[in-house]
Amino acid sequence: MRASALLFLWFREMTEPATKTDLGVSQLKCIGCGRTALPDRFRCETCRDLLEIIFPGWEPAGPYGRSANSLKKLWLSRKSSFEPADQSGVWRFREVLPEIDQEKIITLREGNTPVYELPHCARSAGIQHLYAKHQGMNPTGSFKDTGMTAAASFARAAGYQWVACASTGNTSASMAAYASRGGLRSLVLIPDGKISWGKLSQSLDYGAITVQLKTDFDGCVRVLNEVVERMPVYLLNSVNPYRVEGQKTSAFELLEQRGWEPPDHIIVPGGNLANSSAIGKALGEMKHLGFISRLPKVSVMQAEGANPLVRSVRENGGEKLIPVHAETMATAIRIGNPASWKKALRVIRETGGTVEQVSEVEIALAKAEIGAEGVGCEPASAVTLAGLKKLVKQGFVKPNETVVLVLTGHTLKDADFTLKFHRGDLFDGTTYQAESGSLKRFERSPLVLEPSVDAVIKLLQSAA
């Protein structure tokens, strides 16, 4: 049987109205016109808008007939289980995910990421309570794993043999790993010379066919969209609604880690704008199901050079996306034409959040401050702290409010950036050179000494 036919059979359940016996059943629905969608599509056949997964089976008694309180207990009890699905910080929450046969799950035990307090960064931003949900502590070093376990598992369950993505580096690393674990072949399209070598090396190591296209991320997406139309290849970019479902669990996990007490603000970096959408979707579902009684404000931060959402909100109230030619050293978010902008905007509006942009120098400073807390992150994640500082100055975030930054990637994802920063040559030859003088006091260049005990002791004494 062809993969698409299998996919159809498997999805058929999703496109039929839920009955009382289908208590967890989900459907694909267009975010624009509201029509339910054909099984193996990523956009609405009628209006071309994105699709999202909804759960008619949750009404009226909750997922699988369970209340919020009973789910909270069930999820916590799974923490002592040795079952792979229970050890996954995504599938532990499977009652709020599209249903799948547990045998088909591809898991690297993703999720289960820590929340760290950041007292020094809090002081620097001018607030009292600042935390980081560190999604860089996932198996391949970024938040992408939480979505990839879901979408790759569904690809395998549907009988696909090939998966593919366009990427700024983290999606490709994650997809390559999950595809290999699941016995799938994978194709990666990345912008030539514009992703960190660490991320590139991951996709090679995990066994993907890795192609560097002589274009940017947006160009890679254009090519891939045509490829998947013509070939039986399952698209694992973040327009894939199963990715969003997996990523959504990071917000369930965060709230569980906070004893189900919502913070006042959650700040997320914005690239293709799927992660902010996923977190917002989870918060809406948690409120609807009675897990929480109020919504945190979700705000999205972009780099000044890759700011299509900020421009769209400022210049036309978010009516229409203004694509930009993206340029930033935070290569993970070097995206000018984000696919999920409407979903992200809906989240910002529904939660009362905002958008802001930050400069290259502000990103570098924030990254160094997060590093100096012993936590670290990749440059794209640091837009959250840089943006928070602006939101505090504007009075949007009050000093006594609790803020959670979503750190999306591990510091080792872009060691080049970090080394250049500490050597003091990150901004050499750029227009930011003058502005970057303010970073000097954060630079810690490696020292070279003779192999002498005295020399090391002298250094220690001078540092004391």
What order do you get walking across the sheet with 297-303 strand by strand? 115-117, 129-134, 402-407, 265-269, 297-303, 355-358
Which of these segments, 14-22, 104-112, 264-272, 306-314, binds ligand F0G (CB under 6 A)?
Answer: 264-272
Q: What is residue 409's DSSP assignment?
A: B
Write the DSSP string, 261-330: ---SEEEEE-SSSHHHHHHHHHHHHHHHHTS-SSPPEEEEEEEGGG-HHHHHHHHHTTSS--------S-
Alpha carbon distance 217, 190 (integer Å): 7
Contact positions with ligand F0G (CB under 6 A) in 42-101: none
Q: Choose which of 111, 198, 241, 409 interacts with ligand F0G (CB under 6 A).
A: 409
Q: What is residue 21's DSSP assignment?
A: T
| Cβ 38 vs Cβ 27: under 8 Å | no
Which of these segments, 125-133, 168-176, 345-353, 354-362, binds ligand F0G (CB under 6 A)?
Answer: 168-176
Q: Does 331 bind ligand F0G (CB under 6 A)?
A: no
| φ, ψ dihedrals at 30, nearest 5° | -75, 135
Q: Does 332 bind ligand F0G (CB under 6 A)?
A: yes
Task: Quote the distance between the C-alpha of residue 463 and its chain's center.
Answer: 39
Q: Does 418 bind ligand F0G (CB under 6 A)?
A: no
Q: Choose which of 113, 240, 357, 408 interacts with ligand F0G (CB under 6 A).
A: 408
In the complex, the smallest distance separating the C-beta of residue 208 from ligand F0G, rounded to whole angstroms, is 13
Q: Does 333 bind ligand F0G (CB under 6 A)?
A: yes
In the complex, the smallest distance separating the C-beta of residue 335 from ligand F0G, rounded to whole angstroms, is 6
Nearest to 331 by CA among 365, 386, 364, 380: 380
| φ, ψ dihedrals at 130, nearest 5° | -125, 135
Q: Does 312 bind ligand F0G (CB under 6 A)?
A: no
| φ, ψ dihedrals at 325, nearest 5° | -85, 110
| φ, ψ dihedrals at 124, nearest 5° | -65, -30
Alpha carbon distance 420, 50 (integer Å): 39
Alpha carbon distance 363, 423 (integer Å): 17
Q: Choose which of 171, 250, 328, 436 interacts with ligand F0G (CB under 6 A).
A: 171
Residue-level length of the chain: 464
> 3-state DSSP call for residue 211?
strand
Nearest to 112 by CA among 256, 286, 275, 264: 256
In the complex, the smallest distance separating the C-beta of residue 281 from ligand F0G, rounded to whole angstroms, is 12
Q: Measured from the CB atom, is 365 or 407 closer to ligand F0G?
A: 407
Q: Measured from the CB atom, is 26 or 272 closer to ligand F0G?
A: 272
Q: Does 270 bind ligand F0G (CB under 6 A)?
A: yes
In the complex, the smallest distance separating the C-beta of residue 251 from ligand F0G, rounded to whole angstroms, is 13
Contact positions with ligand F0G (CB under 6 A) in 337-396: 378, 380-381
Q: Measured from the CB atom, is 27 or 174 closer to ligand F0G?
A: 174
Tokens at 115, concatenated: 């929340």
| Cβ 393 vs Cβ 124: under 8 Å | no
Q: Does 307 bind ligand F0G (CB under 6 A)?
A: no
Q: Does 203 bind ligand F0G (CB under 6 A)?
A: no
Q: Choose which of 113, 146, 167, 210 interacts with ligand F0G (CB under 6 A).
A: 167
Q: Choose which of 168, 203, 299, 384 interacts with ligand F0G (CB under 6 A).
A: 168
Q: Choose which of 26, 272, 351, 357 interacts with ligand F0G (CB under 6 A).
A: 272
Q: Which residue is nearest to ligand F0G (CB)?
A: 271
Q: Does 273 bind ligand F0G (CB under 6 A)?
A: yes
Signed CA dihedral, 136, 139, 145, 146: sign only: negative
Q: Measured from the CB atom, is 85 or 405 closer to ligand F0G?
A: 405
Q: Measured from the CB atom, is 273 or 289 closer to ligand F0G?
A: 273
How many residues bind ligand F0G, per CB under 6 A?
Answer: 22
Q: Per-residue contact track with ligand F0G, 127 to 156, x per CB under 6 A?
A: ---------------x-x------------
Q: Measured from the CB atom, is 221 or 392 closer to ligand F0G?
A: 221
Residues near ligand F0G (CB under 6 A) are 142, 144, 167-171, 238, 269-275, 332-333, 378, 380-381, 408-409
